[in-house]
């Protein structure tokens, strides 16, 4: 208990925010040990996405003091690691969430206190503006204050390295250690963050440059001006509306119909429980607005506008809300067609997707002759994989992950909801001019490259040792050899195994070392097929934040219905035989 008392005392010594200081003082005075344990015992971890969590007082939460400490540690680390960091500076942006503007200013103040030039983007910006500006300005790093599509109680601190990509190893660990070495707050004063001679306002210049860069995705302005297709757009109470409006003007499209209830930035997100276009019901207002207006296409960006979702209504009035994998395949086909029209050699084209995303682009690459690369989940890996491919002589105009994140062009190696929106809109206009629909076009892609279906979910297990035992059994399924993973599932023969926990890849003899980085948790990917050329890719992994064993399952083949049946059989055997769900009392979703 003395240790907890010391943690509380140190907080009260450091914190100068009267609201959060009073929170901890009140919990101590009332003897609320349980809440103090939750907030004070473990410090919020600085990981590969920076910081993200609930906005409350305490070492385990997001608040002024945590932001100051993180910024001091980051600044010290960047100065040490990046040449000319003082003059190259830091780009800082923020969204509309509670505390976002204040935390952007505190971040700026921490860097200014160490004589680092600060490019503080004025007003609300979408997340892609930060990596775009880091690249354009050759800044030493970038910070975006946002919690993306998290609930309203959360906020976050996302860091980009000098290569304008989200930080990866070893920088995440290095920054974490630097934060711990710089815990004493140097300054709480934000009065000079815009007036300092080291604070430079390039906001309008960066916005103009962004839209100039975005126009590289423009295919046919004349077609855009004459198309009869109209769109409804929702910004999900976030920051995207001004960006999408200007993009429509830049590309020559007639104005879209906004979902007025969700058009303006609102940190309370009053019309949605979770401001995530993927969540059930999140697009209800947009679909209803489209119905009223007689419009067949809906566009949606998440609150910080780095992710995108789209929907299409068919002639029967039925809506298709495309999955991230379906959108990824549609976008890849559009990028491929555009690239072919340039006459460039296809063997110099590359596309990237995360390991848990669809393998349809991989099938496209095998047929068309371009390179496909997969990487670990997250745009920190997608972006860096893209940069590595560029160094190897490839052009990488597209990358994606199934969680509706899409990367376009060479100026932003991160997901961009506005770029995805305009690619979607142009694809719709092009197909409409040919008398086609997105759903019909997707069907044509399936017929050419094979039917791909996904069925993702998870099993709930609240006991970490049980999870460890389950994965240990999978790795020793047949005790006659070691390692001895399962050899079949649902009548399909296992053809390859990549275990990113132990570092084993069955396809890479004689070392059997995987090309992908290892995972901090359990993660194994299996590929299997049968004599009818039906294939599956099954990835099982643990969650870093939830008591879950997640599975990502995709099947492919020439018979759509047969693939659908196969996926059900695989999940059944995964739960009953591989994971022994009944024996371990695993919940299913």
Catalytic residue positions? 148
Query: What are the angstrom distances between the C-alpha of 383 and each of 166, 238, 323, 330?
Result: 8, 24, 21, 20
Cross-sheet strand order for the sheet of 51-54 = 51-54, 154-160, 141-145, 90-94, 118-120
**Tokens for 458?**
């998870």
* Rounded distance between C-alpha atoms, residue 82 and residue 208, angstroms: 28
Residue 510: asked if its preceding bond is cis (omega within 30°), the reply is: yes
Q: Name the maximum alpha-carbon separation found in the chain.
A: 73
- Under DSSP, is residue 556 helix (H, G, I), strand (E, B) or coil? strand
Find the helix or strand (DSSP H, E) in which 132 lies.
helix 129-137
Q: Among all chains, which residue has been given the structure tokens 């710089």? A: 182
Nearest C-alpha neighbor of 444 from the set 555, 537, 329: 329
- Under DSSP, is residue 12 helix (H, G, I), strand (E, B) or coil? helix
Within a 10 A sphere around the Cβ of 444, how many other Cβ atoms? 12
* Rounded distance between C-alpha atoms, residue 535 and residue 494, angstroms: 10
* Rounded distance between C-alpha atoms, residue 248 and residue 260, angstroms: 17
* Rounded distance between C-alpha atoms, residue 344 and residue 491, angstroms: 43
- Helix, strand, coil percentages (3-state) for the chain, rounded to 5, are 40, 20, 40
- Under DSSP, is residue 65 helix (H, G, I), strand (E, B) or coil? helix
């Amino acid at each position: 208990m003395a240790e907890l008392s010391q943690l509380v005392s140190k907080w009260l010594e450091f914190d100068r925010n009267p609201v959060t200081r009073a929170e901890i003082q009140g919990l101590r005075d009332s003897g609320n040990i349980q809440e103090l344990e939750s907030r004070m015992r473990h410090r919020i971890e600085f990981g590969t996405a920076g910081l993200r969590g609930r906005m409350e007082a305490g070492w385990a939460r997001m608040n002024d003091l945590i932001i100051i400490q993180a910024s001091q540690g980051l600044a010290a680390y960047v100065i040490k690691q990046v040449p000319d960091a003082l003059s190259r500076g830091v780009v800082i942006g923020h969204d509309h969430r509670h505390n976002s503007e204040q935390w952007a200013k505190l971040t700026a103040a921490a860097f200014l206190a160490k004589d680092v030039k600060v490019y503080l983007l004025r007003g609300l910006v979408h997340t892609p503006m930060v990596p775009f500006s880091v690249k354009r300005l050759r800044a030493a790093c970038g910070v975006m204050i946002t919690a993306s599509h998290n609930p309203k109680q959360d906020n976050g601190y996302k860091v980009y390295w000098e290569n304008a990509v989200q930080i990866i190893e070893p920088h995440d660990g290095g920054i974490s250690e630097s934060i711990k070495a710089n815990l004493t707050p140097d300054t709480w004063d934000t009065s000079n963050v815009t007036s300092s001679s080291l604070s430079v306002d390039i906001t309008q210049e960066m916005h103009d440059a962004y839209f100039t860069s975005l126009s590289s995705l423009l295919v046919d302005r004349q077609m855009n001006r004459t198309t009869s297709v109209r769109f409804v757009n929702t910004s999900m109470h976030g920051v995207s509306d001004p960006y999408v409006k200007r993009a429509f003007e830049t590309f020559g499209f007639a104005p879209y119909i906004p979902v007025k209830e969700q058009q303006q930035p609102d940190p309370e997100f009053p019309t949605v429980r979770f401001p995530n276009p993927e969540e059930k019901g999140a697009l209800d207002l947009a679909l209803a607005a489209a119905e009223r207006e007689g419009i067949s296409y809906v566009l949606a960006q998440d609150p910080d506008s780095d992710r995108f979702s789209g929907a299409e209504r068919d002639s029967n009035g039925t809506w298709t809300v495309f999955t991230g994998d379906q959108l990824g395949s549609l976008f890849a086909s559009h990028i491929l067609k555009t690239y072919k029209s340039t006459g460039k050699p296809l063997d110099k084209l590359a596309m990237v997707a995360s390991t848990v995303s669809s393998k349809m682009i991989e099938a496209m690459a095998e047929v068309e002759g371009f390179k496909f690369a997969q990487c670990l989940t997250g745009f920190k890996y997608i972006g860096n994989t893209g940069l590595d491919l560029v160094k190897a002589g490839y052009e990488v105009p597209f990358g994606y992950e199934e969680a509706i994140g899409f990367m376009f062009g060479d100026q932003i190696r991160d997901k961009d909801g506005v770029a995805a929106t305009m690619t979607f809109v142009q694809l719709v206009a092009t197909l409409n001019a040919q008398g086609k629909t997105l759903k019909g076009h997707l069907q044509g892609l399936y017929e050419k490259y094979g039917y791909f279906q996904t069925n993702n979910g998870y099993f709930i297990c609240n006991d970490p040792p049980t999870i460890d035992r389950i994965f240990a059994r999978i790795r020793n399924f047949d005790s006659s050899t070691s390692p001895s993973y399962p050899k079949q599932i649902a009548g399909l023969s296992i053809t390859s195994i990549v275990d990113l926990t132990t570092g084993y890849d069955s396809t890479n003899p004689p070392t059997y070392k995987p090309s992908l980085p290892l995972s901090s948790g359990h993660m194994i990917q299996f590929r299997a097929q049968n004599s009818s050329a039906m294939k599956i890719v099954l990835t099982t992994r643990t969650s870093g934040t939830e008591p879950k064993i997640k599975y990502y399952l995709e099947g492919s083949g020439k018979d759509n219905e047969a693939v659908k049946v196969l996926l059900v059989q695989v999940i059944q055997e995964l739960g009953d035989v591989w994971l022994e769900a009944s024996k371990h009392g695993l919940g299913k979703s």
